[in-house]
Amino acid sequence: MSDATQQAMPPKAKQGLFQQLELDVRLLGMIGAFALLCIGFSIFTDGRFISPRNLFNLTIQTVSVAIMATGMVFVIVTRNIDLSVGGLLAVCSALMAMTQTELMPHVLGLGFNHPMTWAIAIVVGLAAGTLIGGVQGWLVGYQGIPAFIVTLGGFLIWRNLGWLATDGQTIAPLDGNFLNLGGVNGTMGEAWSWTIGIVAAAVALWAIWSARRARIRHGFPAKPIWAEVTVMALVAGSILGFVWVLNSYHIPSRRLQRMFEARGEVMPEGLEVGYGLPISVLILIAVAIVMTLIARRTRLGRYIFATGGNPDAAELSGINTRLLTVKVFAIMGFLCGLSAVVASARLASHTNDIGTLDELRVIAAAVIGGTALSGGAGTIYGAILGALVMQSLQSGMAMVGVDAPLQNVVVGSVLVAAVWIDIQYRKRLGTS
């Protein structure tokens, strides 16, 4: 008990800038890595990499893996692994495609593009994902089969059950409303995007400020006011900057013309319309908020992290760690179902190989984002940024013209290097 005896902790002058801002060093590292990738690829592509068009595409390509990566954080934090997410995505996609093209139009006789089809398909996909995830969690938690084995089996089982269900056929076209959830087909437009961005920025600022007031009310140390204001400015700036980029990608005029023609109108001369926020990105943002809330502000999240940190302690504290495992895998399954919605809507079809190798991308995203395989540590935003970094690396190399085999060599090396850096960082911090 040799710690300082002063009651309040006065801010020490010697503290670094980042410490006073209380920004996560790992978060800064990831943003730095992303910025380096953007700069590097921009130089090699004459700026095409950071064009609004590419950033828009990058965003919608990241969504599916990022959604699953948030669930993988919980799985890995509880010292488990899920190798079946790609297969789970495929079987959910297959069931949803069957719902749209077989069940609704033929079995129920409601015809194609019935207004209820997209909603029912999504319910089917999410329910299937949650159920399968829950069953896998039960096998791990209550039957004691290692998660590696259960989900390695699932890796083979689920994709091929989907294959059997669809007779191996590619299923297209999907329901028209359903396609809105995929990305480029369903965007909010400029005005709505700005509205959403401004509201989101306001909510974020209010949340930061009320957290500060709560700390002061309880008499806990709070960071200096200038640091708080700087963080608030950074947050608001990032949200609005993101909206600005997505609004800057204009719908190609030929496509816009077709849209007007479809409505029987004539396109005004010289009209420019931005895409704005894709609905799939809004889904990802909602997932990120809910998952972060679960991680930080609910008992479930607290128990997930406690179990990862010390399973025996969690058990002795009266936490039902078996049921917790079922819940964690069920959440993972639910998110696989949600990713299947986004992925199949983006591709406008269901194919047998949808989501192939996604398990590796998802695990890599979570791990690059700072989720420790030893359990107990990880963040939702880290996993999403990890997914973004992986996707930028992959599509940037494709733009530059790196050969496909070499792309995989680089991605694999980056994964190993990222984990090595993470280990060194934790060593320096003195935590396991």
Under DSSP, the state recorded for 105 is I
Task: Find the shortest distance in angstroms from Cβ 383 to other proteins.
Answer: 17
* End-to-end C-alpha distance for the chain, whole angstroms: 22
* Contact between 111 and 105 (Cβ < 8 Å): yes
C-alpha dihedral sign at 62, 68, 70, 72: negative
User: CA 89, CA 295: separation in Å to the nearest integer?
Assistant: 23
Closer of 77 and 91 to other proteins (Cβ): 77
Closer of 6 and 143 to other proteins (Cβ): 6
* Cα→Cα distances 230→23, 27, 319, Å: 11, 16, 40
Closer of 52 and 311 to other proteins (Cβ): 311
* Cα→Cα distances 417→184, 335, 393, 406, 410, Å: 34, 28, 14, 16, 10
Contacts with 259 (C-beta within 8 Å, 6 or more apart), sequence order: 251
Task: Find the shortest distance in angstroms from Cβ 377 to other proteins.
Answer: 6
* Contact between 415 and 367 (Cβ < 8 Å): yes
Closer of 215 and 427 to other proteins (Cβ): 215
Closer of 189 and 309 to other proteins (Cβ): 309
Task: Find the shortest distance in angstroms from Cβ 379 to other proteins.
Answer: 12
Structure tokens belonging to residue 170: 């590619």
Closer of 87 and 141 to other proteins (Cβ): 141
Closer of 1 and 225 to other proteins (Cβ): 1
CA-based Rg of the chain, rounded to a whole angstrom? 23
Positions in the binding site for other proteins (CB under 8 A): 1-5, 9, 214-215, 217-220, 293, 297-299, 301-303, 305-310, 312-319, 376-377, 430-432
Task: Find the shortest distance in angstroms from Cβ 7 to other proteins.
Answer: 8
Closer of 9 and 262 to other proteins (Cβ): 9
**Closest Cα partner for 68 from 318, 411, 363?**
363
Task: Find the shortest distance in angstroms from Cβ 397 to other proteins.
Answer: 36
Look up residue 34 and give its amino acid: F
Structure tokens belonging to residue 4: 């300082």
Task: Find the shortest distance in angstroms from Cβ 231 to other proteins.
Answer: 17
Name the helix (H) or strand (E) containing 202.
helix 189-217
Task: Find the shortest distance in angstroms from Cβ 317 to other proteins.
Answer: 4
Structure tokens belonging to residue 324: 């917790």
Task: Find the shortest distance in angstroms from Cβ 293 to other proteins.
Answer: 8
